[in-house]
């Protein structure tokens, strides 16, 4: 059971959150201009990183906000939590 840092509410148990999968995926501005492969990459392909994973969570049973988390998929260590729209923070190597 992870302990997540909601940028608004602070440390809360994973039970209050919904995981939204990989973050920083930008919706193409003009989807019609993409070929099937490029559109398919956007819809279906995910990185599934071993290491630091940038992902989105929603404080579903709290303030309702979506936010970003940088998490090690090896140790579950959370290296950063930050609001949607904020730049990715500098992470230690």
State in angstroms the smallest separation of the CB of 85 from another protein: 7
- Should residue 79 be labelled a site residue for another protein when binding is judged by CB under 8 A? no
Return the residues of window 25-64 that contact another protein according to CB under 8 A.
26-28, 30-32, 34, 36, 39-40, 42-44, 56, 58, 60-64
Count of residues interacting with another protein (CB under 8 A): 40
Shortest separation between residue 42's beta carbon and another protein, angstroms: 8
| Residues 30 and 39: beta-carbon distance below 8 Å | no
21 binds another protein (CB under 8 A): no
How many CB atoms are closer than 10 A to CB 59?
A: 19
Q: Distance between CA 72 and CA 51 in Å, rounded?
A: 5
Q: Is-contact 93 79, C-beta < 8 A?
A: no
**85-91 contacts: CB < 8 A, separation 24 or more?**
88/24, 88/54, 91/52
In the three-class reduction of DSSP (H, G, I as helix; E, B as strand; rest coil), residue 71 is classed as strand
Residues that bind another protein (CB under 8 A): 1-3, 8-10, 12-13, 15-16, 18, 20, 26-28, 30-32, 34, 36, 39-40, 42-44, 56, 58, 60-66, 75-78, 84-85
């Amino acid at each position: 059971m992870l302990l997540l840092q909601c940028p608004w509410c602070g440390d809360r148990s994973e039970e209050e959150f919904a995981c939204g999968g990989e973050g920083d995926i930008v919706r193409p501005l003009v989807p019609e201009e993409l070929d099937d492969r490029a559109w398919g990459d956007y819809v279906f392909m995910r990185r599934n990183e071993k290491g630091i994973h940038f992902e989105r969570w929603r404080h579903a049973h709290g303030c309702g906000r979506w936010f970003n988390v940088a998490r090690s998929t090896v140790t579950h260590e959370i290296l950063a939590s930050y609001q949607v729209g904020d730049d990715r923070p500098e992470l230690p190597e």
